[in-house]
Structure 1
Amino acid sequence: MTYCCAMRLRDGLICISDTRTNAGVDHISVFRKLYLFGVEGERFISIQTAGNLATTQAVIGHLQNQLDLKHEPNLYSVNSMFEMAELVGHTLKRVIMDVTTDQLEQSNYHCTILLSGQIQGEDIQLYNIYPQGNFINATSDTPFFQIGESKYGKPILDRALNYNTELDEALRCGLISFDSTLRSNVSVGLPLDACIYKKDSFAIPLSKRIHDDDPYFSSISKLWSDTLRQGLNGLPRPTEDYWQ
């Protein structure tokens, strides 16, 4: 399984993905699911993938091949993030249909994609792209998307994150979201890949790989567990007649 999260905030983007793939207990592997592209000073692009590994690798391979051979349209030639979402959606749909045209069989090859970034002259954009090639756009009211094993990490995002959240606070929120998921689902695993893009910088940020011995991640994981226990102990006890 996979867990990926992207946050479109007032001051920038935060993208975090796990790296575990699971094809049974005897086939646990590490594969990158966060891919960064861009042209310095002109555009930044992040792609995160969840689902069938062969499908996701084929989609990334097609997109990279378009760039290498200068086939248009490509990630660097489109004029807007909306056009880019259409391009990625079309590529994803084509990859799946190249395997089979049977709709029932296609579900075995499904994947979903988070596309985010910024092109000169536009605001930051974040899209959730479905296997059928269609997509939805994040807004200030819904500033984050999750794909993959999302349910364990969603509560903290719902409670603590909004469009105006500062980047450093949002990063902490995102890491806690992943810590909660890692504790509850063994199919999501370390290391994590994360990147922070600052709005209007049009620079390609380096992604950071977070391993199980990362001191900061380990410290906030422990502190969050301690804080939850303290909060639980601080809640008022039910009255004696509560169950009557």
Structure 2
Amino acid sequence: MTYCVGLRLNHGLVFMSDTRTNAGVDNISQYRKMFTWKTPGERVLVMMTAGNLATTQAVVSMLDERTKAPEDRNPSILEVPSMFQAARTVGKVLRDVIADSAPEQGPDAESPFKATIILGGQIKGAPPRLFMIYPEGNFVEASEETPFFQIGETKYGRPILVRAYDPAMSFEAAVKLMMVSFDSTIKANLSVGLPLDLLLYETDSLEVTTERRIEENDAYFNLISDNWGEALKFAFASLPDYKI
């Protein structure tokens, strides 16, 4: 399993993903699930993946190959004119990879080869955009009503995002929010784990603002984890008891 979050702010985008992949409790590996394509001063695209590892690796490889040898019928995401067209391109590649893996099923959402993708970024001349792309190749876009997307093991980290998200929050506050969301998920599900990959994109910068890996010994993440646990205990204790 995995956990990835893409968050839209008034002044940019925030991405975070874990790196754990497992096929049972005794077969755990680490694979990067966040990928970037960029042309400095012209575009930045960030993609995070969840689902069948062979499927997602094939999608990334095909997108990479097209950036080196684009064709008219197979455009590169470094050449499409808009983020919408980039999402269409990624969606088609994902659908085709799933269909090739299971031709008798096609890109069915119940296929064992399924995968889901978060794609975000900005192309010069247009605002940043954030999409979630489904195994069938179709997609939805983040909006004021739905300002963030989660893929993978989503349920444990969602409550804090729903309660604490503010589109005007700073990057620093957004990273803290993400870390609480991931810590809650890691504590509740062994299929999600560190290291985590973090990427910040500031609107109109057309370059990656911050990109780093958060390891198990990261002092700030461990501080957030410990303090969040204590804060929850204090908040629970401060609630009035039920009267019997």
Find out whether 1:82 has 2:116 as its counterpart: no
DSSP 3-state at the match of 2:98: helix
For 1:125-204, what aligned pairs fall within 5 Å after superposition? 125-204=129-208
For 1:53-92, what aligned pairs fall within 5 Å after superposition? 53-72=53-72, 73-92=75-94
Q: Which moved more, 1:25-34 or 1:200-209?
A: 200-209
The question of whether the paired residues in 2 share the 8 Å contact of 1:37 and 1:204 is answered with no
Structure 2: stretches of 5+ with no match in the other structure: none
Q: Distance in 2 between matches of 1:204 and 1:181?
A: 26
For 1:1-244, what aligned pairs fall within 5 Å after superposition? 1-72=1-72, 73-103=75-105, 107-239=111-243, 243=244
Q: Which moved more, 1:211-220 or 1:105-114?
A: 105-114
Greater helix proportion? 1
Letter in 1 for 2:19: T
Q: Distance in 1 between matches of 2:107 and 2:170?
A: 43
DSSP 3-state at the match of 2:157: helix
Deviation of 1:235 after TM superposition, in Å, equals 1.0
Letter in 2 for 1:225: G
Q: Please, what TM-score do these two structures have when normalized by structure 1?
A: 0.95
The question of whether the paired residues in 2 share the 8 Å contact of 1:141 and 1:162 is answered with no
Q: Please, what TM-score do these two structures have when normalized by structure 2?
A: 0.95
DSSP 3-state at the match of 1:212: coil
Q: Distance in 2 between matches of 1:162 and 1:63?
A: 33
Structure 1: stretches of 5+ with no match in the other structure: none
Letter in 1 for 2:94: L
Letter in 1 for 2:207: A
DSSP 3-state at the match of 1:152: coil
The question of whether the paired residues in 1 share the 8 Å contact of 2:107 and 2:136 is answered with no
Q: Distance in 2 between matches of 1:174 and 1:12?
A: 15
Deviation of 1:205 after TM superposition, in Å, equals 3.9
